[in-house]
Structure 1
Amino acid sequence: MSNYIDTLHTLGTSTWLDDLSRDRLQSGNLQEIIDTKSIVGVTTNPAIFAAAMGQGTAYDEDIAKLKAEGASVDEAVYSLAIDDVRAACDVFAPIYEASGHKDGRVSIEVDPRISDDAAATIAQARELWAKVDRPNLMIKIPATDGSLPAISDALAEGMSVNVTLIFSVARYRQVIAAFKEGIRRAAEAGVDVRTIHSVASFFVSRVDTEVDKRLEAIGSEEALALRGLAGVANAHLAYGLFVDEFANATDLPEGTNVQRPLWASTGVKNPEYPATLYVSELAGPNTVNTMPEKTIDAVLDLGNLHGDTLTGTAAAAQETFDKLAAVGIDFDDVFAVLEREGVEKFVAAWNELLESMSARL
């Protein structure tokens, strides 16, 4: 029987799970939710691995082996993460093949502490790509000033890349440029560009959290009426840029797969908003929505889908942004804060994971 996630897929949005753990893999839970909830991919991040490795006993045997081998804390963390990601890639291999390599993807992120160092980022991307050694892997690289060159380098070498921590359309424009440069370089080097896939991960709910806080501080009737609109409007503007850049692209090698927008941070932070807000309002062609399981369950229970809510929405989204700017929202500052805090949160999660692993070793 089809469900609302299947309906979302018919609209053009692939649903990926924003979570992974050894428990999910060993218990068969990951395969179960593929079968029953129609998810077609998985994303991970430092916070997810911190939660997975910091509790339970699923990793104990491997941690004991790593200790006996004299592994450092960093080596232990990545060894366990690589094993989980490789196993998840194998679970998703049938979907990878059935989707023509579009879905069935599993992402692993480079160390967030090196987000300002392109050379270190591409070096670690190469290492992760080689060690996981699965064609349906995606390397997550943050869209920071320091990491943008590494995005192009990774694509140029034939890696599939999940560009993460995108908040602004201006930054997304740079990400698209980095993607196109990397794909052109790959083609020039003789790499089959049909094997390269990429997504551009826009963080949605955090935009509303930051903008709503500022609207409430302004406090006027006009400002308060605009709460809960910025995140979706920002994503709609991003989708408009995606269509402009890729719909009739003549500046890319033949066989290039478009870099799909991926909607991340799609669990609502404000309980007053519908649980499916960042799903039903961001459904449309050539997109991915990576959701925590709670949000997937909300979609399955509530649906609330009303067709393609992305195509042709950029003009209305710009009007919303103009209204937000008119009441005093400084978007340049909003996005600068969000990017800085995004990196800081991942670094904090990574440090928490390292401390926990150090104690367990």
Structure 2
Amino acid sequence: MAVISAVNQLGQQIWLDNLSRSLIQSGELARMLEEGISGVTSNPAIFQKAFAGDSLYAEDVAQLKQQPLSPKQRYEQLAVADVQAACDVCLPLYQQTNGTAGLVSLEVAPDLADDTAATITEALRLWQTLNRPNAMIKVPATDSGLAALTTLVAQGVNVNLTLLFSKKQVQKAYQAHAAGIRQRLAQNLPVDRIQVVASFFLSRIDNALDKLLPAALQGKTALALAKTAYAEWQEFTQSREFKNLSVQQAAPVRLLWASTATKNPQYSDVLYIENVIGSHTINTVPTHTLNAFMQHGQVAATISENLAQAKSNLIEIEQLGINLESLAERLQQEGIQQFIDAFDALLQPLN
């Protein structure tokens, strides 16, 4: 994984967007960490695929179905055990990097996306059940999820804020995180080990928009948004507001590029990796896209390249009458529904 090491040297972490019992027990995850992978993300669709395709779950599923548990409780026992095991494999990296790498994400139930109180309750319960310092709780970036983020940060929970599709949504994430840090500091509690990432989804944006755009702009919206979001991240981390928190050892929210598998076969299969490499960012990559990147990926610090063109592209897109914030809201709701559907599907065999 020489290319992964090269990306690491440019300040970006590559996380694996995949998790299964076989991946852990075969030693494959440990090997990938040795070769430069820096963390793991999961979601209901990933667990649905793992439960259906990995024979290592069969015995546990059979035993759980004999117990007086709900399908969700059975799912949680399986998923929590996997995340705990992955956290244990990643713990040395977490310790070596002072808590900035070696993190593993588990998502709250997606049907709680618009319920702040229920999201907080479930996130805290999962955090306490996992009982691993390098766990992250995934929360969707709805208004309810952003409110939950503030409380969870104040409680010292690592959070993967997911399903972000616009710069405005990301700016809201910075403010919600900062509010939680301030609440925690007001209680004289440490903030130096709290990690929050903002998962900005890329390929879904182009997949939704390209049919509305002239050929010259197709395949360019997501990268333009990523590049301008990163420029705004740099501005925010240099702001007086954040520096006041930084001197208290607070870590900034980091941008994590998600939905990085190319959906359009006419585009490069590593489009959403090669073009968003930059310091203090993360890219979470499904296995097949990671393999493609290792085979023929080009490594360079690209996230800040062609920023003026990116801004120009966004202006052109909006001049066509496309409201990117409205699109972001729609894609977020569609993403939540997709996760709800996947969650329902993974619960069916656990009835």
**Which bracket does the TM-score occupy, shorter chain normalised?**
over 0.9
User: Which SS does the other structure have where 2:144 is aligned?
Assistant: coil
Alignment-derived partner of residue 310 in structure 1: 303
1:255 paired with 2:255, answer no
The correspondence for 1:240, drawn from 231, 247, 262, is 231
| Aligned AA (2:12) | T
User: Which SS does the other structure have where 1:135 is aligned?
Assistant: coil
Following superposition, the deviation at residue 12 of structure 1 comes to 1.1
1:347 paired with 2:346, answer no
User: Which SS does the other structure have where 1:149 is aligned?
Assistant: helix
User: Which SS does the other structure have where 1:150 is aligned?
Assistant: helix
Asked if the contact 1:46–1:350 (Cα under 8 Å) also holds between the matched residues in 2, the reply is yes
Task: Structure 2: give runs of 5+ residues left out of the alignment.
Answer: none
Following superposition, the deviation at residue 316 of structure 1 comes to 2.9
Output the CA distance in 2 between the equivalents of 1:33 and 1:312. Answer: 29
Alignment-derived partner of residue 218 in structure 2: 227
Alignment-derived partner of residue 171 in structure 2: 173
Output the CA distance in 2 between the equivalents of 1:139 and 1:39. Answer: 20
User: Which SS does the other structure have where 1:68 is aligned?
Assistant: coil
Following superposition, the deviation at residue 313 of structure 1 comes to 5.1
Alignment-derived partner of residue 129 in structure 2: 131
| Aligned AA (2:22) | D
Asked if the contact 2:21–2:54 (Cα under 8 Å) also holds between the matched residues in 1, the reply is no
Output the CA distance in 2 between the equivalents of 1:330 and 1:336. Answer: 10
The correspondence for 2:265, drawn from 268, 271, 293, is 271
How do 1:59-74 and structure 2 match up within 5 A? 59-74=57-72
Alignment-derived partner of residue 16 in structure 1: 15
User: Which SS does the other structure have where 1:54 is aligned?
Assistant: helix
| Cα distance change of structure 1 residues 258 and 313 upon mapping to structure 2, 3 Å threshold | farther
| Cα distance change of structure 1 residues 35 and 250 upon mapping to structure 2, 3 Å threshold | closer
| Aligned AA (1:266) | T
4+ runs deviating over 6 angstroms: none
Asked if the contact 1:21–1:49 (Cα under 8 Å) also holds between the matched residues in 2, the reply is yes
Asked if the contact 1:240–1:312 (Cα under 8 Å) also holds between the matched residues in 2, the reply is no
Asked if the contact 1:16–1:290 (Cα under 8 Å) also holds between the matched residues in 2, the reply is yes
1:4 paired with 2:21, answer no
CA RMSD of aligned residues (A): 1.4
Deviations 1:80-124 (A, max 9, x none): 100000000000011111122100000000000010000000000
| Aligned AA (2:4) | I
Aligned residues: 348
Output the CA distance in 2 between the equivalents of 1:341 and 1:150. Answer: 20
User: Which SS does the other structure have where 2:251 is aligned?
Assistant: coil
User: Which SS does the other structure have where 1:146 is aligned?
Assistant: helix
Output the CA distance in 2 between the equivalents of 1:280 and 1:302. Answer: 10
| Cα distance change of structure 1 residues 345 and 227 upon mapping to structure 2, 3 Å threshold | same
TM-score (norm 1): 0.93
The correspondence for 1:296, drawn from 286, 290, 293, is 290
Asked if the contact 1:115–1:147 (Cα under 8 Å) also holds between the matched residues in 2, the reply is yes
Asked if the contact 1:54–1:357 (Cα under 8 Å) also holds between the matched residues in 2, the reply is no
User: Which SS does the other structure have where 1:138 is aligned?
Assistant: strand
TM-score (norm 2): 0.96
1:284 paired with 2:284, answer no
Asked if the contact 1:239–1:314 (Cα under 8 Å) also holds between the matched residues in 2, the reply is no
Paired-residue identity, %: 38
Asked if the contact 1:240–1:313 (Cα under 8 Å) also holds between the matched residues in 2, the reply is no
Following superposition, the deviation at residue 312 of structure 1 comes to 6.5
Following superposition, the deviation at residue 22 of structure 1 comes to 1.1
Asked if the contact 1:165–1:201 (Cα under 8 Å) also holds between the matched residues in 2, the reply is yes
Following superposition, the deviation at residue 224 of structure 1 comes to 1.6
User: Which SS does the other structure have where 1:127 is aligned?
Assistant: helix
Asked if the contact 2:168–2:325 (Cα under 8 Å) also holds between the matched residues in 1, the reply is no
Output the CA distance in 2 between the equivalents of 1:207 and 1:119. Answer: 30
Task: Structure 1: give runs of 5+ residues left out of the alignment.
Answer: 216-222
